Amino acid sequence: MRFHEYKHVDRVSVEAVTWSRESYGLFDYESQHVSRRNLKASSSAKIIRIKNDIRLVTDMYNERNVCENSKTLALLKHQDGVFSVTKHEKKSDRTRSNASENFWLVVKNIKKDNVNQEYQLRENDVIKLGRVKFRVRELHVGEEMDGYQNDTNNDEMSELGSEDTGSIEDDMPKQHLIKQLPENQEITCRVCLNSENTEANPLISPCGCSGSVKHIHLDCLKHWIKSKSHIKSFGLCISYTWKNLECELCHRRLPEIFIHKDERIDLIDLPKPQSSYVILETLAKEQQVSKTFYVVMATENDLIRLGRGHDCDVKINDISASRFHAFIKLSYGRFFLGDNGSKFGTLALIKNDFVIRPYSNISIQIGRTVITFTLINKSPQLLHNNEYVWIVRIEFNLTLGVLVSHVLMEVM
């Protein structure tokens, strides 16, 4: 069989559903009060929202096309036959029309070849259940799962969150670089009053305090933090909550990560189970908000339940969370996140621009709008720059039958 490169006249279907209410950037997946708009794009376009309506603006540089109260949701790019979705235009562009809201992958809409899929979790993923955000702090596959751990991962959905391009900097924990203190300086730890300063346990100044209370041993700080946690144990989960992570004297928020001689040291050491486990941490933008870590034991194919209900392993005390909102499961050494028909959805933060691929539609939530992108292939194509070749699928569809047979004859 010989492949021709076809002059493809592909388009993208852009199906947008907008919830009429503006509420904490939520989208109600059960609401009937939604506006639907099905659009098709054959070139680059800006996707904008005007009240409850979604439009494509193809003349991206003509600002007259965009009225004042419109909001840019995303930019659809068409380049070398590939459609991709991005938040930002190139820096060199004169127009400034970057999308301001995060892209969230709608977990329940992930489909591949029309089969529903769960989202494969990775460390540092940010997930959102209703309006509650978590960071996946650690995913650990225990020895009982040996043999699976090094399983290669080629889930194309996972790569959406893999490279952090800095869209959620606000949510990142503060880092603190430990500097070498000048010698001959008479300094003491404010906790133990000792002036010993070793590489393993350096004296640091992690907050805004000055004078005799400026310095503290890293170990003394960690010990003090540990004593401030509220521990709860329920089912598969042990949670550790801090009312705040700030200095008691100057009330400055403490860094959660220390960098010491190129090594990362976490302020918070959590006891970890011997078996497989997941550690989630709550994320909040406001500094004063409490912080909780959930250390949850995982066993193959047992669901870890997340939600507002009392029987959930990870309990979410927020009205925007459904009683049994979502689940995490361990399967063949990988962790997956699935939605359980929640009202406000289970979402995973998309940190990168992403390509719209054939046979897997992608659905993203941007504030109160959910957009599903699907490629409309009119012809098979061979993309030289890509590692994959798309092969015609014979659809059992009478209207396509003629087209498909025509195409196949040409391909033979």
Q: Is 181 in the site for Zn ion (CB under 5 A)?
A: no
Instruction: Report the C-alpha gap between 254 and 260 in whole angstroms.
Output: 16
Q: Is 221 in the site for Zn ion (CB under 5 A)?
A: no
* Candidate residues 85, 247, 279, 407; the one interacting with Zn ion per rule CB under 5 A: 247
Q: Closer CB to Zn ion, residue 244 or residue 377?
A: 244
* Candidate residues 172, 191, 383, 411; the one interacting with Zn ion per rule CB under 5 A: 191
Q: Closer CB to Zn ion, residue 70 or residue 201?
A: 201
For tokens 């990142």, the residue is: 172
Q: Is 259 in the site for Zn ion (CB under 5 A)?
A: no
Q: Note whether 355 and 159 are within 8 A (CB).
A: no
CA proximity to 198, closest of 267, 261, 123: 261
CA proximity to 328, closest of 317, 340, 311, 344: 340
- Partners of 278 in beta bridges: 139, 296
Nearest distance from residue 270's CB to Zn ion, in Å?
Answer: 22
Q: Closer CB to Zn ion, residue 135 or residue 217?
A: 217
Stretch that binds Zn ion, among 241-249, 337-345, 356-364, 389-397 (CB under 5 A): 241-249
Across the beta sheet with 354-355, the strand order is 53-57, 45-50, 70-79, 82-86, 354-355
For tokens 């933090």, the residue is: 225
Q: Is 207 in the site for Zn ion (CB under 5 A)?
A: yes
* Candidate residues 209, 382, 383, 392; the one interacting with Zn ion per rule CB under 5 A: 209
Q: Is 189 in the site for Zn ion (CB under 5 A)?
A: yes
Nearest distance from residue 27's CB to Zn ion, in Å?
Answer: 41
Q: Closer CB to Zn ion, residue 82 or residue 265?
A: 265
Q: Is 172 in the site for Zn ion (CB under 5 A)?
A: no
Q: How many CA atoms lie within 13 A of 144 on its CB side?
A: 11
Distances (CA, A) of 333 to 147, 155, 234: 8, 14, 24
Q: Closer CB to Zn ion, residue 255 or residue 307?
A: 255
Residue 261's SS3 state is coil
Q: Closer CB to Zn ion, residue 76 or residue 207?
A: 207
Number of residues forming the site for Zn ion (CB under 5 A): 10
Nearest distance from residue 178's CB to Zn ion, in Å?
Answer: 15
Q: Closer CB to Zn ion, residue 171 or residue 246?
A: 246
Instruction: Report the C-alpha gap between 235 and 307 in whole angstroms.
Output: 14
Q: Is 168 in the site for Zn ion (CB under 5 A)?
A: no
Q: Closer CB to Zn ion, residue 191 or residue 382?
A: 191
Stretch that binds Zn ion, among 144-152, 203-211, 319-327, 369-377 (CB under 5 A): 203-211
Q: Is 250 in the site for Zn ion (CB under 5 A)?
A: yes
Q: Is 249 in the site for Zn ion (CB under 5 A)?
A: yes
Stretch that binds Zn ion, among 68-76, 120-128, 243-251, 255-263 (CB under 5 A): 243-251
Q: Note whether 238 and 98 are within 8 A (CB).
A: no
**Pairing mode, strands 11-19 and 115-116:** unpaired
Q: Closer CB to Zn ion, residue 141 or residue 220?
A: 220
SS3 breakdown of the chain: % helix, strand, coil, rounded to 5? 10, 35, 55
Instruction: Report the C-alpha gap between 393 and 412 in whole angstroms.
Output: 14
β strands within 206-270, DSSP E: 216-217, 230-234, 237-242, 257-260, 263-266
**Run of H or E including 364:** strand 362-366
Nearest distance from residue 245's CB to Zn ion, in Å?
Answer: 12
Q: Is 176 in the site for Zn ion (CB under 5 A)?
A: no
Q: Is 217 in the site for Zn ion (CB under 5 A)?
A: yes
Q: How far is CA 396 from the centre of its chain?
A: 37
Q: Is 218 in the site for Zn ion (CB under 5 A)?
A: no
Q: Note whether 361 and 115 are within 8 A (CB).
A: no
How many residues are listed for the chain in this entry?
412
The token pair that represents 291 in the structure block: 């912080």
Interface mask toward Zn ion for 116-135; x: CB under 5 A: --------------------
Nearest distance from residue 246's CB to Zn ion, in Å?
Answer: 8
Residues that bind Zn ion (CB under 5 A): 189, 191-192, 207, 209, 217, 220, 247, 249-250
